[in-house]
Amino acid sequence: MSEVFISESELLATKELVLKHEYFRRSEGITQIIPKDLSIIEIGSVHAPIKRSFQEKIERFENQLKKLPKSQKDKEETTATFLKRYLQERQSSNIHNKTQKALGGIVEIINDKQQTENNRKKHSLEVAAISKDLSSKLNLTAEESLIAEIASLCHDLGHPPFGHAGQRAMAKKLRNIGVNEYIADDNLHSLQKAKKMGLHDSILETLIYHDGKPIKEVSKKYNKSNLDEEFHKFISDAERPPSIIAQVAAISDDIANDSTDIRDIYKSSGASGSGKTIQQLKESSVLFATMHDKVKQNNKDLTEEHLIEKIIDGIRQEYISDIVGQNKQQHQNTSGITVTFSSEMQKKHDILRSSIRELFKQKSFTKFDNVVDKSIGTIFDAFYNQSDRVINTIDSLQDSILKDKSMILMKNIRNINGNNEQQKELKSKEIVKFVYTNLTDRTCYDLAKTLRQFCREEYSYTDINR
């Protein structure tokens, strides 16, 4: 393992700096779940308008609440949280059956929205926690453990609005106009943001192996002509194997992804009908089934939600124990040291992943990609084509910061004359930088909707709300 030339105190200060990054303040969602009914779309922080019939149903139920004994709603409490709490408090009291049923109906609708607790901040913190645990059990030094932890916190800094779905949508637009899609790569943007923060080279080098292998091996699109010299010196060395630190961060992300997907798949098994119940998860994964039986044996009276969390935690610990066992075995055999699962655990992991990924191809999940394609596509086309109508649209924006940055983007693009390959790439870079740096899920969705309202006849995208 290469020596780390940065002190523990410096790394602790770096960790604090990273945690103050805007990425962690936004805490947007990473779920791909959308209910079949599409009564309400919940994509990260995006809330699409509720259909009229659904709104009337909510109002009818809420009228029933007026007949109930008074209860104080806390200032910070959302309506959804208040109604759930109120129902729980009143379940044992002598409320009229019709009113109790109506109140239960509200909670059912709230659950139908498939709100998720999974978000980017939570995911990054979870990856960092797994890295820290794994580093300790692999006997890494305090400095090496902190580098893995910081790299884990930074691994998704480059995500655009809507995460990987946003990246896919942007890459699609770039391919359509013949521009190299490396511009939209989230790993590259993570590196750029980490570099801009002044993070140490040891952290940048770990970030290069975000997917467990060098960026150059993940995508062959990087070369000296489209990367600045400092980045190229990192990325061009495809022969350099990833350090133990980089491998720890990469496999921790893989483990955390299983946790996120299991939660989402289970939560979508009710109203949307596109997920899996606990029984179905047991039937599709030996690993899940084994851990389920182990948890149930020691915890007889768990709610399903608590049971799922216990199973997820058990699977995580099973993964870590397996990795540590593999590492010890490699040391005994004096072979090349890698942070990996045993062949048996890898098979179990692959079965679990494939059973989950298969579900993401269903229609109720792909609706998410359609909404994202329309949002990203509308913004890209509007700015790339430099329509005068876009200027009028920008003038109508209420957010002064977004308005200023949109105007700067339009000015920068209009200063790029011509339409050859180099100029196409320069214009595309400006738009990608604007979207990746300035837009959240919410503002991306809203800006696209506003652009469609003002420029409807100029773009082929239909209104999201249709």
Mean pLDDT of 172-190: 88
Q: Tell me, what's the pLDDT at 307?
A: 92
Evaluate whether residue 41 is within a structural domain: no
pLDDT of 452 > 70? The answer is yes
Residues 340 and 297 reside in one and the same domain: yes
Q: Tell me, what's the pLDDT at 243?
A: 85
More confident call, 173 vs 69: 173
Q: Tell me, what's the pLDDT at 43?
A: 33
Q: Tell me, what's the pLDDT at 195?
A: 86
Domain that holds residue 394: 364-458
pLDDT tier for residue 255 given thresholds of 50, 70 and 90: very high
Evaluate whether residue 238 is within a structural domain: yes
Rounded CA gap, 451 and 417, in Å?
A: 24
Residues 61 and 26 reside in one and the same domain: no
pLDDT of 169 > 80? The answer is yes
Residues 277 and 412 reside in one and the same domain: no
Rounded CA gap, 94 and 290, in Å?
A: 43
pLDDT of 63 > 50? The answer is yes
H-helix or E-strand spanning residue 393: helix 388-395
Q: Examine the fold and report which residue of 311, 329, 361 is the final residue of a domain before the chain moves on.
A: 361
Evaluate whether residue 42 is within a structural domain: no
pLDDT of 117 > 70? The answer is no
β-sheet bridge partners, residue 29: 119
Rounded CA gap, 134 and 248, in Å?
A: 7
Q: Tell me, what's the pLDDT at 236?
A: 58
- Percent of the chain whose predicted confidence (pLDDT) is above 70: 65
Residues 6+ apart with CB under 8 A from 152: 124, 127, 128, 130, 131, 249, 252, 253
Query: Which sign, positive or negative, has the C-alpha torsion 263, 269, 273, 279?
Result: positive
Q: Tell me, what's the pLDDT at 100?
A: 54
Residues 372 and 330 reside in one and the same domain: no
Which position has the token pair 């359609």? 370
pLDDT 10s digits, 337-385: 689 999 999 999 999 998 887 776 766 666 777 888 989 999 999 999 8
Rounded CA gap, 237 and 214, in Å?
A: 8
Mean pLDDT of 293-321: 90
pLDDT of 458 > 50? The answer is no
Q: Between β-strands 46-47 and 42-43, what pairing exists: parallel, antiparallel or unpaired?
A: antiparallel
Q: Tell me, what's the pLDDT at 325?
A: 93
Other beta carbons within 10 Å of 225: 9
- Give the CATH number for residue 19: 1.10.3210.10
Rounded CA gap, 194 and 177, in Å?
A: 29
Tokens standing for residue 392? 């009028």
Residues 343 and 203 reside in one and the same domain: yes
Residues 94 and 205 reside in one and the same domain: no
Mean pLDDT of 37-61: 42
| Gyration radius (Cα) of the chain, Å | 24
pLDDT 10s digits, 133-144: 999 999 999 999
Evaluate whether residue 40 is within a structural domain: no
Rounded CA gap, 119 and 125, in Å?
A: 10
Tokens standing for residue 207? 């970030």
DSSP 33: -
Domain count, the chain: 3
Q: Examine the fold and report which residue of 361, 377, 393 is the final residue of a domain before the chain moves on.
A: 361
DSSP 161: T
Rounded CA gap, 265 and 391, in Å?
A: 42
Q: Tell me, what's the pLDDT at 182?
A: 81
Residues 151 and 214 reside in one and the same domain: yes
Residues 6+ apart with CB under 8 A from 10: 200
pLDDT 10s digits, 391-400: 888 888 888 8
Phi, psi at 29, each rounded to 5°: -75, 160
Residues 331 and 441 reside in one and the same domain: no
Which position has the token pair 């851990």? 291
Evaluate whether residue 187 is within a structural domain: yes
pLDDT tier for residue 463 given thresholds of 50, 70 and 90: very low
Evaluate whether residue 404 is within a structural domain: yes
Q: Tell me, what's the pLDDT at 259?
A: 87
pLDDT of 47 > 50? The answer is no
User: Biggest alpha carbon distance in the chain?
Assistant: 75
Could you tell me if 265 and 228 are in contact, meaning their C-beta atoms sit under 8 angstroms apart? no
Residues 387 and 288 reside in one and the same domain: no
Evaluate whether residue 258 is within a structural domain: yes
Residues 272 and 401 reside in one and the same domain: no
Could you tell me if 448 and 43 are in contact, meaning their C-beta atoms sit under 8 angstroms apart? no
Q: Examine the fold and report which residue of 339, 361, 383 is the final residue of a domain before the chain moves on.
A: 361
Evaluate whether residue 43 is within a structural domain: no
Residues 3 and 102 reside in one and the same domain: no
Residues 133 and 272 reside in one and the same domain: yes
Q: Tell me, what's the pLDDT at 201?
A: 85
